[in-house]
Amino acid sequence: MLELPVRPQGAELIRTVGLTRHFRLGGFLSRRFLHAVDDIDLSIHEDEIVALVGESGSGKSTIARLIAMVYKPTAGEIYHRGRPLATVRSRREVLEYRGHVPMVFQDPYGSLSPVYRVSHGIMRALKLHRADLSRRGREEEAQRLLEAVGLVPAVDFLGKYPYQLSGGQRQRIGFAQALACRPELILADEPVSMLDVSVRIGVLNLMASLRRRERISFLYITHDIASARYVADRLVVMYAGQVAESGPVEDVLAHPKHPYTQLLLSAVPDPRAPVSLPATGEVQEPPRVIDPGEGCRFRARCPYAIDECSRVTPRLRLLRPAHDAACHVATSDLVAPAPTERTDKDASLR
């Protein structure tokens, strides 16, 4: 059997099973539903960065908001360290959970209130989530957090207003606020997409160093497969509300199995030279998935579609070690182990 080194995983932090979220379109009596997310099985472990990659409207942010308890699932379940989130109900429990799993948002310009100094949001988060700290302790911790995200001298930044900061500095403030909750997993929803290219690498390095130094895991949501490769351990490729492919990041990029992943890679200007893949379809926005029937949602754009693709929804299949894809025609690189001959010893054990 083909064997690849698979990064050892820590304990499981989050698991989603059959996670589904539909939004009703039109009035209350309407029977039309947007299938934002359908039947997602996903896991995130300690000390791991998982990148959720796909085009706008593919369901990535909906998954983050479901895990953050902003939305309720239409079906399926989310487990936090084995506990169903459906059982997290009281205000205190929800606050505690959101401290463990905070979000950092895409827009560094809109996520901070322009009327408050930087210190306000961090001190507020510390007050909510660090009841063990005195006022003096919170002030010291706020400085430590700003230093942890690379904003020094911290005292200067605490007194600044958002308009006095660059986009990259504001995004670092967002991470500092998340750190104030003592998180184990940060849901980073397109944290670099609105930043200048030269600033993005600094924020990605910050995520990598927070994982290394503070042992924080990340769900990194992005449409940029190159940045996912730079920072993530595992890649989950989404298309039209479903997982198309997932696996160790280098393996998925080196051996993309799903035609959509191949399309994404062919659309990126040289994400990992020297590989060059032919374009396998037209790059477009993914469809809005309204009451889809059975069949592969990528079939209208897929050059490899066969009859079965319009009748049967493909399920994820293991095609390489820890690497699976949902495609009827994708081939497996796994070889079934040859049956072993029974020995006299086996016979004696029967």
φ, ψ at 40 (rounded to 5°): -100, 125
Q: Cα dihedral sign for 336, 45, 237, 22?
A: positive
| Nearest-angstrom CA–CA distance, 212 and 235 | 19
Residue closer to ligand SF4 (CB basis): 193 or 266: 266
Q: Which residues of 223-239 are buried (b: 16+ CB within 10 A; e: fewer)?
A: bbbebbbbbbbbbbbbb
Q: Stretches 39-47, 67-75, 261-269, 323-331: which one binds ligand SF4 (CB under 6 A)? A: 323-331
Q: Site for ligand SF4 (CB under 6 A): which residue of 17, 201, 304, 316?
A: 304
327 lies in the site for ligand SF4, by CB under 6 A:
yes
Residue with tokens 């942010």: 61
CB of 60 to ligand SF4, least distance (A): 19
Name the residue nearer to ligand SF4 (CB basis): 64 or 327.
Answer: 327
State the residue for tokens 């993005």. Answer: 200
Q: How far is the CB of 305 from ligand SF4 (least distance, A)?
A: 4
Considering only CA atoms, which of 92, 41, 33 is closest in space to residue 63? 41
Q: Which of 73, 241, 256, 314 binds ligand SF4 (CB under 6 A)?
A: 314
Minimum separation from the CB atom of position 310 to ligand SF4 (A): 8
- What contacts 207, CB < 8 A, 6 or more positions away? 49, 175, 186, 188, 191, 218, 220, 231
- Contact call for residue 239 and ligand SF4 (CB under 6 A): no
Residue 305 interacts with ligand SF4 (CB under 6 A): yes or no = yes
Tokens of 265: 């890679």
Nearest CA among 151, 149, 152 for reference residue 180: 149
Q: Please choose, from the candidates 127, 124, 14, the residue with its C-alpha nearest in 3D space to the C-alpha of residue 68.
A: 14
Please identify, using beta-carbon distances, which residue of 121 and 314 lies nearer to ligand SF4.
314
Helices and strands counted in the chain (H then E): 12, 12
Query: With binding defined as CB under 6 A, does residue 249 bind ligand SF4?
Result: no
Site membership for ligand SF4, residue 329 (CB under 6 A)? yes
Contact region with ligand SF4 (CB under 6 A), list: 117-125, 129-137, 263-271, 291-299 = 291-299
Q: Per rule CB under 6 A, is residue 317 in the interface with ligand SF4? A: no
Q: Which stretch binds ligand SF4 (CB under 6 A): 28-36, 56-64, 127-135, 293-301?
A: 293-301
Amino acid at 292: P
Q: Smaller CB distance to ligand SF4: residue 138 or 323? A: 323
What's the min distance (Å) between Cβ of 245 and ligand SF4?
10
310's tokens: 């319009």
With H, G, I as helix, E, B as strand and everything else as coil, classify residue 122: helix
Per CB under 6 A, the list member of 165, 185, 228, 309 interacting with ligand SF4 is 309
| Interacting residues toward ligand SF4 by CB under 6 A | 258-259, 296, 298-299, 302, 304-305, 309, 314, 327-329
